[in-house]
Structure 1
Amino acid sequence: MQVGGVNNSSGSDYSRITGLATGMDTDGMVNKMIAGDNARLDQMKQNRQIIQWQQEAYIDVIKDLKEFYNGYLDILAPAETNLMASISYSGLKAESSDSSKINAIAFGGAVRGNYAVKVNKLASSAKKQNDVALNAETNLSTKLADIKDQDGNNLNIANGTMEFKVNGKTFTVNVDSTKSISDFLNDIRNTKLSSDSKETLGNYINASFSELTRKFTFETKDTGSSQTLSISGTAAENLKINGDFTGENAQASIKPPGEETYFESKEFEKNTFTIDNVQYDISGAKVGDEVNINIKPDATDKVEKFKKFIDKYNSLIEKIKTKVDEKKEYKFKPLTEAQKKDMSEDEIKNWEEKAKKGMLSRESNLSSLLANLRQTFYSAVEGAGLSAQEIGIETTSNWRDGGKLKLDEDKFKQALETKGDQVQKLFTQSSTNQDEKGILQRFKDTFDNYIGSEGVLVKKAGYKDTRWLGSNDLSKKIEERNKSIKEMENKIYQKQERYYKMFAMLERNMNNLNSQSNWLYSQLGTA
């Protein structure tokens, strides 16, 4: 027999059936004698279940908060939701006369009008291809020792080493002439800076061979005049790839709106660069190409982006506030195993839905979270020159909403189109001074305080990928309850065993009395 989850492992058997000698219902009497203890055990299990439900409720809130943070407040959030990126505050649209050559993005604060852009230089990597023309039969499977020029002369590539120096870091590559070109390139990519280093040459350069052009290409992964590449060694000399090489910077001449002449830009290390709040991408152009860019007001898509943000924010606020305001249904306690046996699955489900209500009722941490978020939109941001109310974002007038936001779309659209740079400051301005931090920067601080790696909610209930997963406050309480339940189960088992021993002894004594009585009657009967 098993009581309270504790197995009877003593091997004892006290004939737990109706007493044959006494006529007593032994099992029934023992169960009545330990009924109070079993009731206390059920209550302990119910209390444990409540804590488990509380933990689940907390984790559900943490999950929602993290999804909101990752979608809107993380700098690496998807472009369609990211509100930390500058482009989210541009009320301007840039149209190129030839987007296949030059594209542009206008950020808040850019001057509207027509621009003319002429490409003077393109940014390039430090790059080298073999000068010697190779035999038409050369392919990735050709062994290094068999490489020939187009006239059939063997290049005599022998075993040895090649040295690649990239931006001051030197990598020594072992050359095995019996290997194929494909294996040779892999050896180059996998060569480590040193035996105990994790840095490989492939982290810094691209190494390839084209079977179409029959050319080796070695180039730095980054572009710009700061990129340097030096290749040396006998094999490099035979392939005509030895020497020192440097990348190039990009440069353009730009005629902004209202000007009659071009202004030469400074040099940039990449083909995407920003000047006067306009980002240019000239990577599709050739030197000498000229394209017109027209920048005009159009914040329609940005307004839609903020509408989605506010809708998501309001849903989050409503869910948290509902949990905080939800009243607990005290008459619906967690079901015991005995109660579940007499109920259908639907009945159990409906009961537990009611029993789970109010798990986070009046939870102080969630209440303070709501208050902090609400205050964020009321507090001024020094240096921004604007307030949320001035650009059409306010909290609703009903205090019962818990700080939900409402958006005046026309007012917000106008603000983005006329002073997008100030709107950006209002939301994203960084500072060590709390009064100068933008609204979303303060949001990030608040979220970190509650759901960061050391956040109060994470410490309370735990969360995956944190050190609090198993050592949070509620998990500790559950573990304490588990210990108490185990002790109670052992206590009930010991008490039950003691009672059965008592009844077993009573049965034996009664059997002895019955035997004696039968003997006496038999003796009297023969007298």
Structure 2
Amino acid sequence: MRLTGFASGLDLNQMVSDLMKAQRMPLNKLTQQKTLLEWKRDSYRDVNKLLTEFSNLSFDMTLQRSYSQKAVTTSNSQKVSATAPPTATNGTYTISNISPATNAYNFSEGAISGSQKVDLTKSIWEQRGNFDSSAARVTSGSMWKTENVEQGEIELSGQSIKLDKGAIHGSSFPEKLFISEPNGEEIVTREFVVTFDPNEELTGNKVFINRDTGEVKFNSEVDFAEGSKINSFSYNSYYSEFKITTYNQNGESVVGDFRIEPTDSLNSIITKINNSDVGVTAFYDEGTDKIMFTRKETGDFNPTVLDEETGEYVGGKEMELEGLFLTDVLKLNEANEEGGEKATFTLNGMPTERNSNSFNVNGITFNLHEATTDPVTITVNNDTDKTFDTIKNYVDKYNELIEKLNGMISEPVYRDYKPLSDDERETLSEKQQEQWEERARSGLLRNDSIISSALNQMRTAFYSTINTSGDIKQLAQLGITTSTNYREKGKLQINEAKLREAIANDPNAVMELFTKAKGEDGSQGIARSLRETVQGTIRNIEARAGNSARTNQQFTIGREMINLDQRISSFEQRMQRVEERYWRQFTAMEKAIQQSNSQSTQLMSYFYQ
């Protein structure tokens, strides 16, 4: 803000501002040109979004699955259902004498808990006495085994610490623990007598070892110097293991070896089984206090076979169980296994069987649900309704596309409505700004050559003759023709009855009319031609208006915007020099007026002397 005009009495700030408004008029035109280019670029990119969507739909229309949908009907869907992919063979199938496949299952012969119920979340070792089985305890014939644990040095960071493993075999544990403790520059060794009795008072150099958890606890009055460590030693720890063997579709054994750590609970063991490759689902039923094993797959994968040496039948169980934990502690007996039967049924008069209740014949997937002796009829035919809907949807999308494109190239141009400057926006309400901008944006793509050419090529594609394998060669034979209303500018209309008839009578020819690849005669399916035209138009628009991945240097409008930016920058620099010149001129005028006023005052003073 300059404080001027004291000598002349003129508002020089306003005068300079008004003069600069006149000077800036060419700059405003350049800014408007840039805004129009940005709008035009955005309009082109909106067109490309529409074309890309239609191109993707056209690609789907070149796929066989769009025309070869199958309709499956069943006379009793509660007993048998079926699904058919486009490649399935049409036909009628009769299924009777159905006995569905079953899952093999086994459960505990009795309750697994003793007088106190087993806690699923606590470790099995800690509550080994709660199971109704002597095998869970550490006795002769127990499920537990021992292994050597090489315990490394343990740093004493507090009064209570833990060993690597619990479930300690007492007689294998050393009678004393030796502590290496820093004492100045020396390391001294302190001895502590081990006790397993939780009720014994920890006096002097005694240390308590919890045989279940491996917790180590010293007398609370004992202090250790920083850096003290329990020296390494070894002991035996209890663990257990079991094995589950199942069989896959090929009759090959799938063996699951499981290990029970001292910290494992019944829940964690069930999770191990369920997550393993043996294909068994295990769960605990609180009401009966029993464990249930169920094969995840139905069928009989381990049939009974005759042992030629013994003359006895062996095998036949879907879940073979090994280990006292399963057979004694959980009371699972292989002999009690039930289920594991194949599905048996009669298909078109032929008795057959499957391991699964879901099976495939001629590409059709059948699903058996309930047993029945009554025949169930399944019919597979071409789904003309889905094919009809697919073609109708394509035509509708084409009509929507050309309606929008025709609207863009025929929009009126309002030449009196230019993009608003910031100063002009301040004089209008928000609603007025929206209305003004709507008219200023109108007609940006009027009579655009790229879009007009694309519309002409798409119309030509719909009128072309395609050499199909049937009698249908043109779209008009499907009942799809151009609207007689010229105002609709090439929109298509459908004779639905004629289209349905064509799909029913010659579905392959209908499909080829849209999907046929380009042959020696140069003709190709309508969907392929349209996609080719649309993709070419997308490339032409990107060359002119770019896309989000291109820089301004890589497309025509972008380069024009760069040129305008340079001109705007150059013009703004010149405006700065013009404004500075105006201020120099007015400043000089002020000085001259001030000097003249001073001289006039001096002369007047002489007359009054």
TM-score range, shorter chain: 0.5 to 0.7
- Aligned mates of 1:270, 1:459 — CA distance in 2: 58
- Which runs of no fewer than 5 residues in structure 2 stay unpaired? 137-142, 145-237, 250-255, 302-320, 333-340
Residue identity opposite 1:326 in structure 2: E
Determine helix, strand or coil for the equivalent of 2:413. Answer: coil
- Cα drift, residue 48 of structure 1: 1.8
- Aligned mates of 2:259, 2:107 — CA distance in 1: 22
Determine helix, strand or coil for the equivalent of 1:329. Answer: coil
- Give the aligned partner of residue 351 of structure 1: 436
- Cα drift, residue 86 of structure 1: 2.9
Seen in structure 2, the aligned counterparts of structure 1 residues 269 and 43 have a Cα distance that, compared at 3 Å, is farther
- Cα drift, residue 187 of structure 1: 8.9
1:467 corresponds, among 542, 549, 554, to 549
- Give the aligned partner of residue 245 of structure 1: none
Seen in structure 2, the aligned counterparts of structure 1 residues 140 and 207 have a Cα distance that, compared at 3 Å, is farther
- Aligned mates of 2:72, 2:361 — CA distance in 1: 13
2:571 corresponds, among 482, 488, 495, to 488
Determine helix, strand or coil for the equivalent of 2:47. Answer: helix
Residue identity opposite 2:463 in structure 1: Y
- Give the aligned partner of residue 310 of structure 1: 395
1:319 corresponds, among 387, 404, 407, to 404
- Cα drift, residue 286 of structure 1: 6.9
- Aligned mates of 2:344, 2:560 — CA distance in 1: 64
- Cα drift, residue 406 of structure 1: 1.9
- Aligned mates of 1:322, 1:493 — CA distance in 2: 44
Between structure 1 and structure 2, the one with the greater Rg is: 2
- Post-superposition CA distance 1:424-460 (Å, at most 9, x none): 3333456798957543344444444455xxx444565
1:423 aligned to 2:510?
Answer: yes
- Give the aligned partner of residue 29 of structure 2: 43
- Aligned mates of 2:520, 2:342 — CA distance in 1: 37
Q: How does 1:272-311 map to 2 (within 5 A)?
A: 273=360, 275=362, 279-282=364-367, 284=369, 291-294=376-379, 299-300=384-385, 302-304=387-389, 306-311=391-396
- Post-superposition CA distance 1:121-175 (Å, at most 9, x none): 9999xx99999889477787465767989854546695999999x99xxx99999
1:503 corresponds, among 547, 565, 586, to 586
- Cα drift, residue 391 of structure 1: 2.1
- 2:30, 2:568 within 8 Å by CA — same for their partners in 1? yes
- Aligned mates of 1:489, 1:84 — CA distance in 2: 58
- Aligned mates of 1:162, 1:456 — CA distance in 2: 68
- Aligned mates of 1:480, 1:268 — CA distance in 2: 75
- Give the aligned partner of residue 50 of structure 2: 64
- Aligned mates of 1:177, 1:436 — CA distance in 2: 76
- Give the aligned partner of residue 7 of structure 1: none
Determine helix, strand or coil for the equivalent of 2:506. Answer: helix
- 1:329, 1:357 within 8 Å by CA — same for their partners in 2? yes
- Aligned mates of 1:139, 1:460 — CA distance in 2: 74
CA RMSD, Structure 1 to Structure 2 (Å): 5.6
- Give the aligned partner of residue 392 of structure 1: 479
- 2:357, 2:367 within 8 Å by CA — same for their partners in 1? no
Q: How does 1:67-466 map to 2 (within 5 A)?
A: 67-68=53-54, 72-73=57-58, 84=63, 86=65, 88-90=67-69, 93-104=71-82, 114-117=92-95, 135=112, 141=121, 143=123, 151-152=132-133, 153-154=135-136, 158=239, 178=263, 210-212=283-285, 214=291, 254-255=347-348, 262=350, 271=358, 273=360, 275=362, 279-282=364-367, 284=369, 291-294=376-379, 299-300=384-385, 302-304=387-389, 306-385=391-470, 386-387=472-473, 388-396=475-483, 401-428=488-515, 438-450=525-537, 455-458=539-542, 460-461=544-545
- Aligned mates of 1:174, 1:20 — CA distance in 2: 102
Seen in structure 2, the aligned counterparts of structure 1 residues 315 and 382 have a Cα distance that, compared at 3 Å, is same
- 1:138, 1:211 within 8 Å by CA — same for their partners in 2? no
- Give the aligned partner of residue 22 of structure 1: 8
- 1:185, 1:207 within 8 Å by CA — same for their partners in 2? no
- Cα drift, residue 43 of structure 1: 0.8
- Post-superposition CA distance 1:366-401 (Å, at most 9, x none): 223323332332344445433323222233466775
- 1:208, 1:218 within 8 Å by CA — same for their partners in 2? yes
- Aligned mates of 2:357, 2:457 — CA distance in 1: 42
- 2:66, 2:390 within 8 Å by CA — same for their partners in 1? no
Deviates more, 1:340-349 or 1:300-309: 300-309
Residue identity opposite 1:47 in structure 2: Q
- 1:327, 1:357 within 8 Å by CA — same for their partners in 2? yes
Taking structure 2 as the reference length, the TM-score comes to 0.58
Give the number of equivalent residue pairs. Answer: 463
- Give the aligned partner of residue 53 of structure 1: 39
- Give the aligned partner of residue 6 of structure 1: none
- 1:65, 1:447 within 8 Å by CA — same for their partners in 2? yes
Taking structure 1 as the reference length, the TM-score comes to 0.65
- Give the aligned partner of residue 601 of structure 2: 518
- Post-superposition CA distance 1:52-105 (Å, at most 9, x none): 2223322333333444556x4565xxxxxx895736555x74320122343345
- Cα drift, residue 320 of structure 1: 0.6
- Cα drift, residue 299 of structure 1: 3.7
- 1:459, 1:468 within 8 Å by CA — same for their partners in 2? no
Determine helix, strand or coil for the equivalent of 1:50. Answer: helix
- 1:86, 1:424 within 8 Å by CA — same for their partners in 2? no
- Which runs of no fewer than 5 residues in structure 1 stay unpaired? 1-12, 76-81, 190-200, 226-233, 242-247, 256-260
Residue identity opposite 2:493 in structure 1: K
Seen in structure 2, the aligned counterparts of structure 1 residues 425 and 338 have a Cα distance that, compared at 3 Å, is same
Seen in structure 2, the aligned counterparts of structure 1 residues 40 and 272 have a Cα distance that, compared at 3 Å, is farther
**What percentage of residue pairs aligned between the two structures are identical?**
23
- Aligned mates of 2:258, 2:588 — CA distance in 1: 89
